[in-house]
Structure 1
């Protein structure tokens, strides 16, 4: 049943060693690039050089899948809990207290008065102290040229209402 083990020559051994090495390198640097494809080609060449029957091919494929599965499990465990996790996983968080902000702070515009540059149905553009800003009307449509006031700032969403 395992007669193919005796048929492994130097070329088959080289193909298998290179194939496993390149596929495992691809596991460390994912992206299905050149190492993974080349490694798979070398593994198939090793099978073609060694196997004599379809049964040999199937057994060798099963062995290769088991070995690569074990290697992947070891790499994933190392990536989550071992030394590899310190290089692959970002442990810093971007917090406001550390000086990081996801969007610029527009809360300084709260309460400012300006002019609608476009019809707000409900979204459009308005100008406040010479700065054009995308805004949303609070309740109704606002005509172009109408006076508006910023009543709410939620991140990048600026809500305005019409001034009578």
Structure 2
């Protein structure tokens, strides 16, 4: 059985500072993830604490297990806070992008409905067409449309523009 009392009696003021600051820095990194400087600094401080206290390999293993348990408890608290919405607003995205606030995932091309133009390529069923100087990728309704044929936009579904030949 390892001598835990002897292990903890080796902790002097500097070792205690290493451990306390190491835990604080890693917990800060858990609540404010980013560049990683607090997390890396915390790991380095914990390693310095282990090196300053441990007398043998058994002490190192015991200290690592204790550190992992403490950090596991801290991580559990962070995850619990995240599920309850108690984390800083910089960590959890609360904004949403919707049409009412002016966001559109794709261009709204519905204003093209009813416009007439000319097929720049053969539409079998897809190709390119010109509508008043605007080149668009279009899809014919069902039939094969020859190049230079007059066409009309009949439907817009997102980025899909459906055309019909004008006869």
What TM-score range do you get, normalising by the shorter chain? 0.7 to 0.9
Q: Which residue of 2 aligns with 1:35?
A: 38
Where 1:70 maps in the other structure, the secondary structure is helix
Q: CA deviation at 1:71?
A: 1.0
Q: CA deviation at 1:122?
A: 4.5
Q: CA deviation at 1:18?
A: 1.9
Q: CA deviation at 1:33?
A: 1.8
Are residues 1:61 and 2:64 paired? Answer: yes
Instruction: State the TM-score, normalized to the length of structure 2.
Output: 0.81
Unaligned runs of 5+ in 1: none
* Counterparts of residues 52-91 of structure 1 (less than 5 Å): 52-84=55-87, 86=89, 88-91=91-94
Q: 1:148 to 1:69 in 2, by over 3 A?
A: same
Instruction: State the TM-score, normalized to the length of structure 1.
Output: 0.83
Q: 1:82 to 1:105 in 2, by over 3 A?
A: closer
Q: Which residue of 2 aligns with 1:104?
A: 107
The more displaced of 119-128 and 64-73 is 119-128
Taking only aligned residues, the RMSD between alpha carbons, in angstroms, comes to 2.4
**CA deviation string 1:70-103 (max 9, x = no partner):** 1111112222214326553333433334443322
> For the Cα contact (< 8 Å) 1:79–1:85, is it kept in 2?
no
Q: CA deviation at 1:12?
A: 1.4
Q: How many residues align?
A: 164
